[in-house]
Protein backbone atom coordinates (compact mmCIF):
# COMPACT_ATOMS: atom_id res chain seq x y z
CA UNK A 1 0.00 0.00 0.00
CA UNK A 2 1.10 3.57 -0.56
CA UNK A 3 -0.09 6.93 0.75
CA UNK A 4 0.76 10.61 0.54
CA UNK A 5 0.30 13.32 3.15
CA UNK A 6 0.54 16.97 2.26
CA UNK A 7 0.96 18.62 5.59
CA UNK A 8 -0.46 22.04 4.74
CA UNK A 9 -3.77 22.64 3.01
CA UNK A 10 -2.95 26.29 2.45
CA UNK A 11 0.32 28.26 2.40
CA UNK A 12 0.15 32.07 2.19
CA UNK A 13 3.36 33.88 1.31
CA UNK A 14 4.45 37.29 0.11
CA UNK A 15 5.89 37.80 -3.35
CA UNK A 16 9.67 37.24 -3.59
CA UNK A 17 9.73 35.26 -0.33
CA UNK A 18 10.92 31.63 -0.25
CA UNK A 19 8.40 28.83 0.11
CA UNK A 20 8.39 25.14 1.06
CA UNK A 21 5.44 22.83 0.45
CA UNK A 22 5.69 19.65 2.49
CA UNK A 23 4.99 16.11 1.35
CA UNK A 24 5.45 12.83 3.22
CA UNK A 25 4.79 9.43 1.71
CA UNK A 26 4.65 5.80 2.67
CA UNK A 27 5.20 2.83 0.41
CA UNK A 28 6.26 -0.79 0.78
CA UNK A 29 8.23 -0.74 -2.48
CA UNK A 30 10.65 1.57 -4.26
CA UNK A 31 8.88 4.71 -5.34
CA UNK A 32 8.64 7.28 -8.00
CA UNK A 33 7.69 10.73 -6.68
CA UNK A 34 6.06 13.65 -8.46
CA UNK A 35 4.91 17.21 -7.93
CA UNK A 36 2.15 18.63 -10.12
CA UNK A 37 0.68 22.13 -10.35
CA UNK A 38 -2.92 22.99 -11.16
CA UNK A 39 -4.11 26.46 -12.14
CA UNK A 40 -7.85 27.26 -11.73
CA UNK A 41 -10.15 25.27 -14.02
CA UNK A 42 -7.25 23.48 -15.71
CA UNK A 43 -5.69 20.04 -15.65
CA UNK A 44 -2.55 19.14 -13.74
CA UNK A 45 0.90 19.84 -15.15
CA UNK A 46 4.09 18.08 -14.08
CA UNK A 47 6.52 20.30 -12.14
CA UNK A 48 9.21 17.70 -11.43
CA UNK A 49 9.79 14.03 -10.75
CA UNK A 50 12.14 11.76 -8.88
CA UNK A 51 12.75 8.33 -10.41
CA UNK A 52 16.30 7.55 -9.24
CA UNK A 53 19.75 9.11 -8.95
CA UNK A 54 20.38 12.55 -7.43
CA UNK A 55 18.09 13.30 -4.53
CA UNK A 56 17.83 16.98 -5.48
CA UNK A 57 15.51 17.37 -8.42
CA UNK A 58 15.04 20.56 -10.38
CA UNK A 59 11.83 21.29 -12.23
CA UNK A 60 10.11 23.97 -14.24
CA UNK A 61 9.41 27.53 -13.10
CA UNK A 62 12.36 27.54 -10.65
CA UNK A 63 10.99 24.82 -8.36
CA UNK A 64 13.09 22.05 -6.84
CA UNK A 65 12.46 19.16 -4.48
CA UNK A 66 14.60 16.93 -2.33
CA UNK A 67 13.98 13.23 -1.89
CA UNK A 68 14.77 12.12 1.67
CA UNK A 69 14.44 8.36 2.00
CA UNK A 70 15.08 8.20 5.76
CA UNK A 71 12.36 10.77 6.45
CA UNK A 72 10.12 9.54 3.60
CA UNK A 73 9.70 13.12 2.44
CA UNK A 74 9.71 14.96 -0.87
CA UNK A 75 9.32 18.64 -0.03
CA UNK A 76 8.95 21.24 -2.78
CA UNK A 77 10.85 24.53 -2.56
CA UNK A 78 11.26 27.77 -4.44
CA UNK A 79 13.67 30.49 -3.29
CA UNK A 80 11.58 33.42 -4.52
CA UNK A 81 7.91 33.15 -5.49
CA UNK A 82 5.96 35.22 -7.96
CA UNK A 83 2.29 36.15 -8.07
CA UNK A 84 1.89 33.74 -10.99
CA UNK A 85 2.88 30.81 -8.72
CA UNK A 86 -0.52 31.06 -7.03
CA UNK A 87 -2.04 27.64 -7.71
CA UNK A 88 -2.84 24.22 -6.22
CA UNK A 89 0.11 21.85 -5.83
CA UNK A 90 -0.18 18.08 -5.64
CA UNK A 91 2.38 15.55 -4.49
CA UNK A 92 2.06 11.99 -5.86
CA UNK A 93 3.76 8.65 -5.26
CA UNK A 94 3.82 5.73 -7.69
CA UNK A 95 5.33 2.58 -6.23
CA UNK A 96 2.79 0.45 -8.04
CA UNK A 97 1.26 1.07 -11.43
CA UNK A 98 -1.38 3.41 -10.03
CA UNK A 99 -0.20 6.70 -8.50
CA UNK A 100 -1.62 8.03 -5.25
CA UNK A 101 -2.14 11.78 -4.88
CA UNK A 102 -2.11 13.97 -1.82
CA UNK A 103 -5.04 16.26 -1.10
CA UNK A 104 -3.19 19.28 -2.43
CA UNK A 105 -1.69 22.49 -1.03
CA UNK A 106 -3.03 25.83 -2.10
CA UNK A 107 -0.16 28.31 -2.52
CA UNK A 108 -1.37 31.89 -2.25
CA UNK A 109 1.16 34.57 -3.16
CA UNK A 110 0.37 38.08 -1.92
CA UNK A 111 1.84 41.24 -3.47
CA UNK B 1 1.41 18.13 -31.05
CA UNK B 2 1.02 15.17 -28.74
CA UNK B 3 -1.42 15.52 -25.91
CA UNK B 4 -4.64 14.56 -24.24
CA UNK B 5 -7.98 16.21 -24.93
CA UNK B 6 -11.29 16.21 -23.10
CA UNK B 7 -14.66 17.34 -24.30
CA UNK B 8 -16.84 19.09 -23.57
CA UNK B 9 -15.26 21.66 -21.25
CA UNK B 10 -18.61 22.32 -19.54
CA UNK B 11 -21.53 19.89 -19.34
CA UNK B 12 -24.94 20.23 -17.77
CA UNK B 13 -27.04 17.24 -16.83
CA UNK B 14 -30.63 16.95 -15.78
CA UNK B 15 -31.43 14.55 -12.98
CA UNK B 16 -32.00 11.02 -14.29
CA UNK B 17 -29.88 11.49 -17.40
CA UNK B 18 -26.75 9.60 -18.40
CA UNK B 19 -23.94 11.73 -19.86
CA UNK B 20 -20.67 10.72 -21.51
CA UNK B 21 -17.38 12.57 -21.15
CA UNK B 22 -14.84 12.17 -23.90
CA UNK B 23 -11.10 11.59 -23.43
CA UNK B 24 -8.64 11.12 -26.31
CA UNK B 25 -4.85 10.85 -26.31
CA UNK B 26 -2.27 10.65 -29.10
CA UNK B 27 0.72 9.96 -26.86
CA UNK B 28 0.64 6.20 -27.53
CA UNK B 29 0.23 5.55 -23.81
CA UNK B 30 -1.06 2.20 -22.64
CA UNK B 31 -2.58 3.44 -19.38
CA UNK B 32 -5.49 5.85 -19.01
CA UNK B 33 -7.29 7.12 -15.91
CA UNK B 34 -10.37 9.04 -14.82
CA UNK B 35 -10.37 11.19 -11.69
CA UNK B 36 -13.01 13.20 -9.93
CA UNK B 37 -12.01 16.41 -8.17
CA UNK B 38 -14.06 18.13 -5.50
CA UNK B 39 -12.89 21.17 -3.50
CA UNK B 40 -10.54 20.19 -0.69
CA UNK B 41 -10.57 16.48 -1.57
CA UNK B 42 -7.77 16.20 -4.08
CA UNK B 43 -8.08 13.67 -6.89
CA UNK B 44 -10.12 10.50 -6.45
CA UNK B 45 -9.68 7.65 -8.90
CA UNK B 46 -12.85 6.48 -10.66
CA UNK B 47 -11.58 3.96 -13.22
CA UNK B 48 -8.31 3.10 -14.90
CA UNK B 49 -7.24 1.02 -17.86
CA UNK B 50 -3.81 -0.47 -18.44
CA UNK B 51 -4.55 -1.99 -21.83
CA UNK B 52 -7.20 -1.98 -24.54
CA UNK B 53 -10.38 -3.92 -23.70
CA UNK B 54 -9.51 -4.05 -20.01
CA UNK B 55 -10.27 -1.65 -17.17
CA UNK B 56 -10.43 -1.68 -13.38
CA UNK B 57 -12.52 0.09 -10.77
CA UNK B 58 -10.88 2.78 -8.72
CA UNK B 59 -11.89 4.10 -5.33
CA UNK B 60 -15.23 5.65 -6.33
CA UNK B 61 -16.53 3.68 -9.33
CA UNK B 62 -20.18 3.43 -8.23
CA UNK B 63 -22.46 5.29 -10.62
CA UNK B 64 -19.85 5.45 -13.40
CA UNK B 65 -18.96 3.25 -16.37
CA UNK B 66 -16.14 3.23 -18.93
CA UNK B 67 -15.02 1.49 -22.09
CA UNK B 68 -11.60 1.05 -23.72
CA UNK B 69 -12.19 -0.15 -27.27
CA UNK B 70 -9.28 1.82 -28.71
CA UNK B 71 -5.89 2.69 -27.25
CA UNK B 72 -6.51 6.38 -27.89
CA UNK B 73 -9.93 6.68 -26.27
CA UNK B 74 -11.32 6.18 -22.76
CA UNK B 75 -14.84 7.67 -22.44
CA UNK B 76 -16.54 7.97 -19.05
CA UNK B 77 -20.31 7.70 -18.62
CA UNK B 78 -21.89 9.27 -15.57
CA UNK B 79 -25.07 7.33 -14.99
CA UNK B 80 -28.25 8.31 -13.19
CA UNK B 81 -27.10 6.06 -10.34
CA UNK B 82 -24.45 8.63 -9.42
CA UNK B 83 -26.33 10.72 -6.87
CA UNK B 84 -23.93 13.64 -6.62
CA UNK B 85 -22.18 14.01 -9.97
CA UNK B 86 -21.45 17.73 -9.88
CA UNK B 87 -17.63 17.91 -9.97
CA UNK B 88 -14.56 18.54 -12.10
CA UNK B 89 -13.52 15.43 -14.04
CA UNK B 90 -9.94 14.86 -15.16
CA UNK B 91 -8.63 12.30 -17.60
CA UNK B 92 -4.96 11.28 -17.65
CA UNK B 93 -2.66 8.91 -19.48
CA UNK B 94 0.79 7.53 -18.77
CA UNK B 95 3.49 5.22 -19.98
CA UNK B 96 4.10 2.47 -17.46
CA UNK B 97 5.66 3.68 -14.24
CA UNK B 98 6.06 7.27 -15.29
CA UNK B 99 4.33 10.59 -14.87
CA UNK B 100 0.76 11.19 -15.91
CA UNK B 101 -0.33 13.62 -18.58
CA UNK B 102 -3.63 15.32 -17.83
CA UNK B 103 -6.35 16.72 -20.03
CA UNK B 104 -7.89 20.15 -19.40
CA UNK B 105 -10.89 18.73 -17.54
CA UNK B 106 -14.67 18.70 -17.87
CA UNK B 107 -16.86 20.53 -15.37
CA UNK B 108 -20.16 18.69 -14.91
CA UNK B 109 -23.09 20.41 -13.27
CA UNK B 110 -26.43 18.84 -12.40
CA UNK B 111 -29.40 21.11 -12.98
Instruction: Summarize pLDDT for A1-57 with one digit per residue, the tens.
Output: 788 999 999 999 999 999 999 999 988 777 899 999 999 889 999 999 998 888 899
Predicted confidence at residue B94, as pLDDT, reads 92
With CB atoms and an 8 Å threshold, state whether B102 touches A44: yes
Chain B residue numbers with beta carbons less than 8 Å from the beta carbon of A97 are: 31, 50, 96-97
Query: Could you give phi then psi for residue A61, rounded to 5 degrees?
Result: 60, 25
Predicted confidence at residue B40, as pLDDT, reads 77
Rounded to whole angstroms, the Cα distance separating A32 from A30 reads 7
Q: Is B97 on the interface with A (CB under 8 A)?
A: yes
Predicted confidence at residue B95, as pLDDT, reads 86
Q: What is the pLDDT of residues B14-56, one digit of tens each?
A: 888 999 999 999 999 999 999 999 987 889 999 999 999 999 9
Rounded to whole angstroms, the Cα distance separating B10 from B79 reads 17
Q: Cis ω on the peptide bond leading into residue B8 (within 30° of 0)?
A: yes
Chain B residue numbers with beta carbons less than 8 Å from the beta carbon of A41 are: 88, 105, 107
Coil/strand/helix, residue A85: helix
Predicted confidence at residue B1, as pLDDT, reads 63
E strands in A28-86:
32-38, 44-50, 56-58, 64-68, 73-78
CB A102 within 8 A of CB A8: no
Predicted confidence at residue A54, as pLDDT, reads 87
Q: Edge-to-edge strand order for the sheet containing B19-25?
A: B4-7, B19-25, B76-78, B64-66
CB A59 within 8 A of CB A65: yes
Rounded to whole angstroms, the Cα distance separating B20 from A111 reads 42
The neighbouring-strand residues paired with B76 are B21, B66
With CB atoms and an 8 Å threshold, state whether B45 touches A46: no
Size of the A and B interface in Cβ pairs below 8 Å: 49
CB B101 within 8 A of CB B3: yes
Q: What mean pLDDT is reported for chain B?
A: 93
With CB atoms and an 8 Å threshold, state whether A45 touches B102: yes
Amino acid sequence: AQSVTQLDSQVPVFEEAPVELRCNYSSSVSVYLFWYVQYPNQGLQLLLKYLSGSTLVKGINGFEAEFNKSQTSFHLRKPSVHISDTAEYFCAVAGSYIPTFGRGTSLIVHP
Amino acid sequence: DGGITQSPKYLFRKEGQNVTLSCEQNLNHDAMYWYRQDPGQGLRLIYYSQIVNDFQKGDIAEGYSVSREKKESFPLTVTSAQKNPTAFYLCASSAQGNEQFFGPGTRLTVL
